[in-house]
Amino acid sequence: MADSVAVKPLEAVTEPPRGGGHRSTKRSRREARAAYLFLAPWFAGLLVITIGPILASLYLSFTDYSLLQEAEWVGFDNYVKMFTEDPRYINSLKVTTIYVVVSVPLQLAFALALALVLDRGLRGLAIYRSIFYLPSLLGGSVAIAILWRKVFGADGLVNALLGAFGIQGPGWVGHPDYALGTLIILHVWTFGAPMIIFLAGLRQIPSSYYEAAAVDGAGPLRQFKSITLPLLTPIIFFNLVLEIIKSFQSFTQSFIVSNGTGGPADSTLFYTLYLYLNGFRDYDMGYAAAMAWVLLLIIAGLTGVNFLASKYWVFYGDTK
């Protein structure tokens, strides 16, 4: 077996390209068949577990479906209701947008700053990297969301610290003006994943650029602005796209910190949480499905805009 595997790629390379293209030898047909066979379980999974439900949810978004009864076709009613009769929906959009717009740039700035520090060639880099990455592993977890309530609660850690300076802090998680802020901080805190990617990006920049710049008398700030930042734009772009998508789909933080209500007074009602409440508490699956599709359109639209805009600021070394 080992022999035949080792031989195959060689054969593939030495075989001349066939004219007309579509006819193949017995052997490669057999290989193709085997490949499809191996892929079959995955295809079946994709069809049954992913594409099937996606299409079903598209259909359901045009129905009134209570889960317990047959779905009933209602046309665009769900979509119309969202934007005309449901102030909570509009509010959930607002809350989510604020969350994304504030937390994503903050998180990326934080990740980049730390990556720059770590890139200086600290001793024990691997340890620091792991420590800073840890919050990303924990951030979406129930335990951290509960911890957050303890940290930002009326009698929590933050207020104890403020108390030491004689400041009486409010109950941050219980106050509609501050609750979303605590969730934004939680999100920024999970900067590990983009940090690692930035770090990898920084490592790609040839040190000769910096040496040349230093010879020409450029200070660290100038070097950062003229070398690091432009060469890092593809990485920044990648992180930006990824984090925007991820933050629009945030759910756990709000679900746990607000005990599944989006409170206080709907101030942390994330889009996905409202979707969940509609679907699984109020048994309004049709409406929830419609919400999911609008979210998909929003995210797809934003990602598209992101890609279009990237032409103007993302610099790929090999193109001008």
Partner 1 sequence: MSSGKKMWSATLLATAVLAVTAACGSDSGGESADGKVKVRFSYWGSDARQKMTEEAIKKFEAKNPNIDIEGEFSDFGSYYETLATKVAGNDAPDVITIEIRGLREYAERGALADLAGKVNATDIDAKVLATGAIDGKQYAIPTGVNAFSLVVNPDLVEKNGQKLPDDAKWTWEDYIDLASKITAESGGKVFGTQQSFNPGYLEIFAAQRGEKFYQGNKLGISPDTLKAWWSNMQTLIKTKGTPDAAKSVEIGAQSVDQSLLGTNTGAMGMWWSNQLGAINKASGQDVSLLRMPKAEGAATGGMFLQPAMLYTASSKSEHPAEAAKFIDFMINDPEAGEIILSDRGLPASSKVLAAVKEKLPETDIKTLDFIDEVRSELSDPPAAPPKGASGMEDILTRYSEEILFGRMTPDDAAQKFLTEANASIAG
Question: Which parts of this chain interact with partner 1 (CB under 8 A)?
Answer: 1, 4-5, 30, 34, 37-38, 40-41, 44, 66-69, 149, 153-155, 170-176, 258-261, 263-266, 277, 280-284
- Nearest distance from C-beta of residue 85 to partner 1, angstroms: 9
12, two tokens: 């593939």
CA angle 282, 287, 293 (to 5 degrees): 135
Alpha carbon separation from 293 to 89, 138, 230, 271, 307 (Å, rounded)? 14, 29, 36, 12, 21
Instruction: Give dist(CA 67, CA 169) in Å, integer.
Output: 45
Taken as a whole, the chain contains a residue count of 320
- Nearest distance from C-beta of residue 288 to partner 1, angstroms: 11
Q: Mutual orientation of helices 77-84 and 285-313 as an angle, nearest 10°?
A: 70
- Nearest distance from C-beta of residue 206 to partner 1, angstroms: 45
The full DSSP string for 41-76 is: HHHHHIIIIIIHHHHHHHHHTTEE--SSS--EE-TT
Identify which of residues 9 and 217 has a Cβ nearer to partner 1 in the complex.
9
Identify which of residues 34 and 117 has a Cβ nearer to partner 1 in the complex.
34
- Nearest distance from C-beta of residue 21 to partner 1, angstroms: 25
Contact between 127 and 208 under an 8 Å Cβ cutoff? The reply is no
- Nearest distance from C-beta of residue 86 to partner 1, angstroms: 10
